[in-house]
Amino acid sequence: MADIIKLLPDHVANQIAAGEVVQRPASVVKELLENAIDANATSIKLIIKDGGKSLIQVVDDGIGMSATDARLSFERHATSKIQKAEDLFDLNTKGFRGEALASIAAIAHVEMHTNNGQDEMATRIKIEGSAIVEQEVCVAPKGTAMSVKNLFFNIPARRNFLKSNNVELRHITDEFHRVALAHPGIAFNFYNNGSEQFNLPKANGRQRIVHVFGAKTNERLVPVTEETQVVKIHGYIIKPEFSKKSRGEQFFFVNNRFIKSPYLHHAVNAAFEGLIRPDAMPGYFLYLEVDPSSIDINIHPTKTEVKFDDEHTLYAILKSTVKHSLGQFNMVPAIDFDQDPNLDTPYTYKNKEAHQPNVTVDRNFNPFQEVAQKQSGVQSYSKQSVEGWENLYVGLGSDAGPQGDSQSLQFESDTITGSIFENQQENLESIATTFQLRRKFVVTTIRSGMVVIDQNRAHQRVLYEQFLRNITLNEAISQQLLFPLSLTFSAVEMVILKDIKEGLTTLGFVFSKMEGEEVEIKGVPLMVSESEVPILLDELIADYQREGIENSFSQTDVLSKTLAKSLAVKTGEVLNGNSQLALVNDLFACKESGVSPFNKPIYITITENDIDKKFI
């Protein structure tokens, strides 16, 4: 048989490598920013268009390249950063694999201007799908300007796989944050579609965090420092009361490189235990310095995962350091989240005097004296009335006799739908008795038994459908605030807020200003109180970040879900009789009363039959 193995041509090999290095526009941004940093730039500009799909440009004032280097830089395994394998264990640069430029040039239209400040002239190179299209001398300031256009132009499948411009922009912004936070000493500018997103002057670590995440962040930061033989740690944690439900502000840098480490995250989480709600995430910006020979960065092409020699020690040090900082700043547990809400005094009893209970004993009581009891008018629990058992709860105000029409209602299965109430919707009020069980469930009777309703989920469903209706029909009513509410947000949060502004407006929010970091709110939906607004908006932003909303349909959906989740009555809240009834009525008037907006069952039914079976 003839030989069949062939070496892949370079452009094919490069395209394959690109599959690992370049997943989306944000990966290009990361590689180009890191090259600029490795070139000792003091000021870096990032310019993108259409979520980076049509243009990503990075301009630096670094060391630049000679004409030969400029040409070589696009070859695979071409790097100035390491020379021999041992260098891998003493890395002081971001890059070292020498494949980023080769990969990017294989799947996009790339143009580079570079000037090393020594040669007379600068170099301009144009390269498309690994092929050099033009190379010439030109005039350009010292440094390098790279522009990457039409990403994945020759791999339609990858191009189609990209998300909307907004989602890609968010990924790019994340990368930008990571690089900018790791290098506060470098000035950064970031423009998107011609408008300035960030202007970050050279600063110290704390200022950089504040410039990126907004002025309100400053008061939320608690410094962290520790020096041991294994690791030096510095940075900030966010005060526990400001921890969010999103994974937004969690940054580990090892030797000035952003890394992802679930293991170290766990260490920080453990230090925060008891200080934040179980569903919240601590915020942190932690910079670790370790001996470069004690880590391996080359375990993944994107270099965001690191292997540490002594992970366990690092874990222990990190946890105790963070704990220590929390302790120093007097952040001892203030809230006991595990407290059983049933131990609280119900609101209705608060501020009331305690009375000595009056006990009267019927000394003539004889449990076997059936007739006598009946005569005395006491409700009998005896055998005859078993068929009309629901009278135990229902009978008080009801005129439906024990035999009434209870037989006419037949269940086909255990799960009921809203329809079982249909023919009796109007008189539900008169026949149904409700009560609250453990401040968590509303129990109501139906002809064939009872329904146990999760109060929180039920209310979520009611509100969710109401919000959806309001948005679709545009009929929300808003209440004017006496004084406009002024709130500040970070640049990223502002992008999201602007995205969802329209939806919020249809819900009843009235914005009088949305500029820079500031938002001014003049009106809020009727059911939202002013004090709830900041939390509500924070939660909305977090949900949007998590879900990466694509189209307006899912936008409306997430908006309604988040509002419903935030505003619904919670487990542990006491509901009075009227509220219970109203909730039941509203729930069964919903289009889909069986499941919550988050697809959890809302109620279960227990039929007389079920109960009978228990008594066998």
Residues that bind Mg ion (CB under 5 A): 35, 95, 100
For residue 79, state whether it binds ligand ADP (rule: CB under 6 A): yes
Instruction: Tell me which stretch binds ligand ADP (CB under 6 A): 44-52, 58-66, 174-182, 602-610.
Output: 58-66
User: Of the listed pieces 32-40, 182-190, 406-414, 604-612, which binds ligand ADP according to CB under 6 A?
Assistant: 32-40
Q: What does 96 interact with, of Mg ion, ligand ADP, none (CB < 5 to 8 A by kind)?
A: ligand ADP
Residue 108 near residue 131, CB atoms below 8 Å: no
Work out what residue 62 binds among Mg ion, ligand ADP, none; the CB cut-off runs from 5 to 8 Å by kind. Answer: ligand ADP
Instruction: Please say which residue, 79 or 261, places its beta carbon nearer to Mg ion.
Output: 79
Q: Are 349 and 574 in contact (CB under 8 A)?
A: no
- Partner interacting with residue 168 (select from Mg ion, ligand ADP, none; CB below 5-8 Å by kind): none
Assign 384 to helix, strand or coil: helix
Nearer residue to ligand ADP within complex by CB, 79 or 560: 79
Among 14, 17, 21, 60, which residue sits at the site for ligand ADP (rule: CB under 6 A)?
Answer: 60
Q: Which residues contact 593 (CB under 8 A, 6 or more apart)?
A: 417, 418, 458, 461, 587, 602, 603
- Judged by beta carbon distances under 5 to 8 A according to partner kind, the member of Mg ion, ligand ADP, none in contact with residue 536 is none
Taking CB under 6 A as the rule, does residue 203 contact ligand ADP?
A: no
**Nearest to ligand ADP of 85, 157 (CB atom):** 85
Residues 212-241 that bind ligand ADP (CB under 6 A): none
Supply the DSSP symbol for 586: H
Q: Which is nearer to ligand ADP, 81 or 163 (CB)?
A: 81
Residue 439 makes CB contacts below 8 A (sequence gap 6+) with: 341, 342, 571, 572, 573, 574
What values do phi and psi take at 322, rounded to 5? -65, -40
Nearer to ligand ADP among residue 95 and residue 214 (C-beta): 95
CB of 122 within 8 A of CB of 138?
Answer: yes
Residue of 26, 100, 431, 533 interacting with ligand ADP (CB under 6 A): 100
Structure tokens at 176: 């930008």
The helix (H) or strand (E) run that includes residue 190 is strand 187-192
User: Which residue in 404, 521, 392, 376 sits closest to 445, CA to CA?
Assistant: 392
Interaction of residue 80 with ligand ADP, rule CB under 6 A: yes
End-to-end alpha carbon distance in the chain: 79
- 129-133-136-141 Cα dihedral, nearest 10 degrees: -40
Coil, helix or strand at residue 186: coil
- Is residue 508 part of the contact set for ligand ADP (CB under 6 A)? no
Residue 315 CB, shortest distance to ligand ADP, in Å, is: 30
Q: Which range in 92-100, 182-190, 373-381, 410-418 contacts ligand ADP by CB under 6 A?
A: 92-100
By C-beta, is 113 or 211 nearer to Mg ion?
Answer: 113
446 binds ligand ADP (CB under 6 A): no
Q: What is the DSSP string of 449-502?
A: EEEEEEHHHHHHHHHHHHHHHHHHHT---EEEEEEEEEEE--HHHHHHHHHHHH
Q: Are 456 and 568 in contact (CB under 8 A)?
A: yes
- For residues 133 and 122, what is the distance between their CA atoms, to the nearest angstrom? 17
Q: Which is nearer to ligand ADP, 100 or 581 (CB)?
A: 100
Judged by beta carbon distances under 5 to 8 A according to partner kind, the member of ligand ADP, Mg ion, none in contact with residue 78 is ligand ADP
Q: How far apart are CA 324 and CA 245, in angstroms?
A: 24
503 binds, among ligand ADP, Mg ion, none (CB under 5 to 8 A by kind): none
Order of all β-strands in the sheet with 434-437: 434-437, 441-446, 449-454, 603-607
Q: Does 107 bind ligand ADP (CB under 6 A)?
A: no
Residue 70 CB-density burial (10 A; 0-12 exposed, 13-18 middle, 19+ buried) = buried
- Residue 79 contact among Mg ion, ligand ADP, none, beta carbon within 5 to 8 Å by kind: ligand ADP
The torsion angle over the Cα atoms of residues 335, 340, 344 and 346, rounded to 10 degrees, is 130
- From the CB of 506, what's the least distance to ligand ADP, in Å? 46
Query: Which C-beta is closer to ligand ADP: that of 80 or that of 391?
Result: 80
Question: Cα separations (Å) of 370 from 383, 393, 396, 464?
Answer: 11, 21, 21, 52
- Told to check if 28 binds ligand ADP by CB under 6 A, we report no
Identity of the residue, 36 or 541, whose beta carbon is nearer to ligand ADP in the bound complex: 36
In the list 47, 78, 485, 487, the residue contacting ligand ADP (rule: CB under 6 A) is: 78
Distance between CA atoms of 533 and 525, rounded to whole angstroms? 10
Nearer residue to ligand ADP within complex by CB, 94 or 561 = 94
| Among Mg ion, ligand ADP, none, residue 81 binds (CB under 5-8 Å by kind) | ligand ADP
Name the minimum Å distance from CB 88 to Mg ion.
15
Which of 22, 26, 39, 233 forms a contact with ligand ADP (CB under 6 A)?
Answer: 39
Smallest distance from Mg ion to CB 97, Å: 7
Are the beta carbons of 395 and 388 closer than 8 angstroms?
A: yes
Q: Shortest gap between Cβ of 99 and ligand ADP (angstroms)?
A: 6
Give yes or no for residue 14 binding ligand ADP (CB under 6 A).
no
Is 73 a binding residue for ligand ADP by CB under 6 A? The answer is: yes
SS3 content of the chain, % helix, strand, coil (to 5): 40, 20, 40
62 binds ligand ADP (CB under 6 A): yes
In the complex with ligand ADP, the residue whose CB is nearer, 144 or 545, is 144
Give the one entry of ligand ADP, Mg ion, none that residue 331 binds, where binding means its C-beta sits below a cut-off of 5 to 8 angstroms depending on kind.
none
CB of 22 to Mg ion, least distance (A): 12
Query: What is the C-alpha to C-alpha distance for residues 4 and 21, in angstroms, rounded to an integer?
Result: 29
Binding positions for ligand ADP, 109-148, rule CB under 6 A: 144
Interface residues with ligand ADP (CB under 6 A)? 31, 35-36, 38-39, 60, 62-65, 73, 78-81, 95-102, 144
